[in-house]
Chain A
Amino acid sequence: MTSQPFRLPQGGLVDRSRLVTFRFDGREYTGHPGDTLASALIAGGTHMVARSFKYHRPRGILGAGVEDPAALVEIGSGIHRDPNVRVTEAEIHDGLEAHAQNVWPSLTFDVGEANDLLWRFFPAGFYYKTFMGGPRGWMTWEPFIRRAAGMGRAPDGPDPDPYEQTNRHCDVLVVGAGPAGLMAALSAARSGARVILAEETAALGGRLLSRDPAATHLDDRAAPEWIGAVAAELRSREDVTVLTRTSAFGYYGENFLGLWERVGDHLPRHERSPNLPRQRLWRVRAKQVVLATGAIERPLVFHENDRPGIMLASAAVTYVHRYGVLPGRNVLVFANNDSGWGAAFDLAESGASIAAIVDVRREIDGALLSRAAALGIAIHAGCGVVGTSGRFRVTGAKVQPVEGAGGVSDIACDLVAVAGGWTPNTALFAQSRGKLRWDDDLAAYRPGLSWQKEASAGASNGVFDLSGCLAAGAEAGARAADAAGFSAVPAPVPALRAEETLQRSIHFVAEVPSHRKPEDTRAWVDLQDDVTTKDLKLALQEGMQSIEHAKRYTTTGMGTDQGKVANLNAFRLVSDKLGRPMHEIGTTTSRQPWKPVTFGALAGQHVGHHFHPRRGTPMHDWHRRHSAVFEPVGDWLRPRAFLKAGESFEQAVQREARAAREGVAVLDATTLGKIDIQGKGAREFLNRVYTSAWTKLAPGRCRYGFMLGEDGMVLDDGVTSCIADDHFHMTTTTGGAARIYQWLEDYAQTEWPDLELYLTSVTEQWAVASLSGRDSRAVVEEICDDFDADPATFPFMSFRDTTIEGVPARIFRISFTGALSYEINVPASYGLWLWEKIFEAGARFGITPYGTETMHLLRAEKGFVIVGQDTDGTVTPHDLRMDWIVSDTKGDFIGKRSLSRSDTARADRKQLVGLLTEDPGLMLEEGAHVIATENEPAPPVPMLGHVTSSYLSPNIGRSIALALVAGGGDRMGDRLWVTRPGGAPIPVRVTETDFLKLKEEGHV
């Protein structure tokens, strides 16, 4: 027992039969299963666990749960390091290693503490005022400030743990399993509704667990027994899901809530199931929500109120009854309402001596006074704590009457239990966009007007007595089930032996009055962010009158705790200083998440290969076996090139590009978007969505076309073939497939419902191999059953239906490359079979697979544009100098009117041209700027345009490039320059874009 000097001989819900060993900051501690780090550390006599954010002041344990502001540590190390973990929430297990953070070199000797000696020089807004100077202002200082401030460190590498996400619908979601939540879940569950009960801590029961079980009886059963019976009934119901260690962290639109479940964190790694995730994110859509999130006690704001050993009175009681730990032997209780007195009596009965009860109120209830007298407790009514002593742990308090000129008494103590009143936990209610109401009797905000389908019940709704919480929970649960379509009656409320009330007769003061000079007072409002009353007053004085501005200027209520205990004290101080009522001051915004949630849980399974779904063609495995280098195009993975042994990527592209003209090469074109269009209106539809005319396209023929947006800019391109008068096969770019299909549906359904046509995506139905090069005809004829591929009788831009060993195939004479080409389409399930057949037949021609990089190079050689590379949403067909593709003779088409807008019709727009470097071996950089002068002028440099495509072409025998250049069509033969980083601009000649033709004609 000596290692746990503050463990009480009995009591608490921990399993005393087992001992758990863990380490904090290098020292070994023991505790029991059921302990949090906080309760086990307190059992070991340790209260100081951290340093504060700004002044590096010692920080202890203020709370006993999610509300604690500053008792943050790192757990684990290396890739398993979890920073900023609240000691009041983390459960201990054997082998757990925790470390203090934001300290150097150690928790008790921290160099950063020097900041505290200079506190007068670091007021609110200090950083904004001080570090704006210098040549780069804030940017110069920020790295140093970030290093000096900050909290925990990130893990050393990618998170190795598994996480998962799950979606759930339910009739009633109950958040919080205290007395109200349990009764709500019970009432709803008994009606047959699908219920989820989510409890943030490891055990059901909420505040019932913080009571003396001997004194708290429900229906004549001790609280743990009653809770056990309710839990057993809930768990026995098939439609009820009871989740512990699960925080409802976000209330989003239409009753959509995020729940964060810690599945394995409370276990040592070797005891965690390999089949379970570390944490789980529940995405819940609830018909009705019951918020039974309880209330949070506030600290009191006085000089030197931040020392370790200053603790919420409710937390002190929780440590006694839930964990069997005495947080101090000599306790001074400081209160502004009756709840502190109850805590003092509880602590006294548990073996602590009560040094004094200090209460800011003059008038105290007679029953409390006589009970205190019976226990021999000294009472200081109408007094306040005005200072404390002790470096790493409080050793005494100075007490003085709040009015008049009474003297200061020094009272020795090792714990100051503060009871500043209770704040209903309305965070989720506020996230749901409900309106809060200021309640003068409670001295707190409580839910007022609901916006979503939820109801707050119990302490979170400002109901502070236990019987009221039980009844309100039962009522809310039944009403929620009714509203979800069930017929429910409230579960009978258990009879209590004695009533329990959180708070009575509060005298809410923003700051405990003292005779100390304001400039010498350091009274913390926000313990995590080191915000004092002085900072808030300064902010108001400097004009930050809105509470949101005061928050941002001082950082009060920011950080990982979001001011759970600090906010209301800050609002009250602002209200007092401005002399305006609380409802006019309002609140800061409660945003999701309610508490920090790990990135792992938010990412769930969507990491690594599962981050984005990737699609492969039927030939994908073949590509992998043949050393393809892949690139993502839309959702697809496409081979960029196929590398032979010892070959670089560039060498592979050169080899493939030669083969695609001089021999035979084949491209997997399966990924092209394919849309089947049928109906009497199909032909007219094509007339309206493409720039060219489709009226005369005969069955068996194909046409290349551009689609424009209504703004006249090129949207997509592709070949569409006429299968019958009322049946067409359209292809789109790979990346544009889904978007174009949706866009076509839009026009078909909403603008031209009079046209009878049906659009069906057939992208997945066809596998496509595109053969290119002189020998492609021989390969096609060899694999087809009986097919004459003679270009003379099977002309360019036509297609034929045929068979390959009886498998139906459609062969198109269309070309990506400008060389003799055949595009073979077969049902997708035959894709790999076809591909292998092509390689078998093509072997004697040395058939070469080629990828997208080679395809782009081949297109550039021919001056064929790539939509999305040579165009960027600001380019018209005329800008591409492809006037021939726009029909003047047909009626309206999408984008037509925009082509004659004054801006679109300008002659000096950027136009697509070829660029040839004077040095044929020099390659331009894609994206490089085109300028008109030999030397780069001083900025801003007048730009003529930019390079869109640039390659080393094996078939032209030199570098080639395409560029968009202002008035480019009129610059043929001109000498221009292209900039490059770290070198003189490169001289180039402006040419036409079809480099193959230029070469044939001897211009290259």
Chain B
Amino acid sequence: MFVITCPYCGERDQAEFVSGGQAHRTRPLNAHEMSDADWGDWVFMRDNPKGIFAERWFHSAGCRRWFNALRNTATDQFLAFYPMGEAPPAVEAVLPATPAGEAPIGSGNDAVKVMRPGESEGTTT
């Protein structure tokens, strides 16, 4: 269960929010000039990256405002929250790096459960 920082209300439990999928997709104003294939792409296709993903969230049980968030899908960690219409802020994240395409820590997946010789101990965040 995430803690989500609504830009208008502050830290709240994920139960108050609804996810709205990929952010920064602008509805085309020239739809009538678009080919079926281009239009179909816009309607049906979404990015699904492993790593930093800008996505929309709706504070449905709170202020009822839509806003954007940056989440690291490789580690399921929120990195930033920002209002609609703003550009995504610069963030630092533990990004996929291992040969298996895992972030070096945080996914809980097989490749990164155990430290390799030479990795230093401590905390990451």
Contact = CB atoms under 8 A, between A and B. Distances in A.
A898 B66 contact: no
B36 interface: yes
A403 B120 CA distance: 39
B87 interface: no
Given A450-B124, A901-B39, A902-B36, A437 B114 contact: yes
A522 B84 CA distance: 65
A742 B120 CA distance: 47
A448 B121 CA distance: 5
Contacts of B107: 433
Contacts, number: 109
B117 A583 contact: yes
A438 B118 CA distance: 12
A344 B122 CA distance: 38
Given A587-B114, A750-B84, A745 B66 contact: yes
Contacts of A751: 26-27
Given A437-B115, A750-B56, A902-B36, A253 B1 contact: yes
Most buried by A among B1, B66, B112, B115: B115
Interface in A529-569: 546, 548
Given A253-B1, A750-B84, A901 B114 contact: no
A571 B65 CA distance: 50
B108 interface: yes
B114 A285 contact: no
A635 interface: no
B62 to A, nearest CB: 12
A572 to B, nearest CB: 14
Given A450-B124, A451-B124, A436 B43 contact: no
Nearest to B122: A449
Contacts of A589: 108, 110, 113
A742 B60 contact: yes
Contacts of B26: 751
Interface in B71-125: 75-76, 84-85, 105-108, 110, 112-117, 119-125
Interface in B1-59: 1-3, 13, 18, 20, 26-27, 29, 31-32, 34, 36, 39-40, 43-44, 56, 58
Nearest to A430: B113
Contacts of A252: 1
Contacts of A902: 36
A710 B21 CA distance: 15
Interface in A884-927: 892, 896-898, 901-902
Contacts of B112: 435
A711 interface: yes
Q: How large is the interface on A (under 10, 10 to 19, 20 to 34, 35 or more residues)?
A: 35 or more
Interface string A503-524: 0000000000000000000000
A892 B28 CA distance: 10
A586 interface: yes
Contacts of B124: 449-451
Contacts of B3: 254, 285
A753 interface: yes
B43 A898 contact: yes
Contacts of A897: 31-32, 34, 39
Given A449-B123, A583-B116, A897-B34, A749 B1 contact: no
Nearest to A891: B32
A435 B113 contact: yes
Nearest to A448: B115
A954 to B, nearest CB: 43
A254 B121 contact: no
A746 interface: yes
A685 B105 CA distance: 47
Given A254-B1, A750-B84, A451 B106 contact: yes
A548 B114 CA distance: 14
Given A433-B107, A435-B105, A450 B122 contact: yes
Contact of B43 (A256, A586, A711): A711
A451 B74 CA distance: 13
A445 interface: yes
Interface in A374-429: none
Given A749-B65, A749-B66, A898 B114 contact: no
Interface string A292-317: 00000000000000000000000000
SS of A interface (majority): mixed
Given A253-B76, A433-B105, A433-B106, A451 B114 contact: no
Interface string A714-757: 00000000000000000000000000001001100111010000
Contacts of A753: 84-85
Given A450-B122, A751-B27, A901 B36 contact: yes
A549 B43 CA distance: 40
Interface in A443-457: 445, 448-453
A434 B112 CA distance: 9
A254 B2 contact: yes
A745 B114 contact: no
Interface string A576-602: 000000010011010000000000000
A450 B125 CA distance: 8
A256 B1 contact: yes
Nearest to B123: A450
B89 to A, nearest CB: 18
Contacts of B60: 742
Contacts of A711: 43-44
Nearest to A585: B114
B79 to A, nearest CB: 13
Contacts of A449: 105, 115, 119-124
Nearest to B40: A901
A751 B27 CA distance: 7
A729 B108 CA distance: 50
A548 B110 contact: yes
Contacts of B84: 749-750, 753
B113 A586 contact: yes
Most buried by A among B3, B105, B114: B114
B119 A448 contact: yes
Most buried by A among B65, B66, B76, B107: B66
B36 A586 contact: no
Nearest to A583: B114
Contacts of B1: 252-254, 256
Contacts of B85: 753
Nearest to A455: B123
Nearest to A902: B36
B65 to A, nearest CB: 7
Contacts of B75: 433, 451
Most buried by B among A252, A434, A436: A434
A751 B29 CA distance: 10
Contacts of A436: 113-115
B94 to A, nearest CB: 9
Contacts of A450: 122-124
A746 B119 contact: no
Contacts of A433: 75, 105-108
A430 B113 CA distance: 8
Nearest to B33: A897
A55 B1 CA distance: 41
Nearest to A898: B43
Interface string A785-822: 00000000000000000000000000000000000000
Contact of B66 (A438, A548, A746, A892): A746
A453 B123 CA distance: 9
10 contacts: A435-B105, A449-B120, A449-B122, A450-B122, A451-B75, A451-B124, A452-B125, A710-B43, A742-B58, A892-B29
Interface of B: 1-3, 13, 18, 20, 26-27, 29, 31-32, 34, 36, 39-40, 43-44, 56, 58, 60, 64-66, 75-76, 84-85, 105-108, 110, 112-117, 119-125
Instruction: Return the 3 tightest CB-CB contacts between A and B, nearest first.
Output: A897-B31, A433-B108, A448-B115
Given A430-B113, A449-B123, 8 more contacts: A437-B119, A448-B121, A449-B105, A449-B115, A449-B124, A450-B123, A589-B108, A898-B43
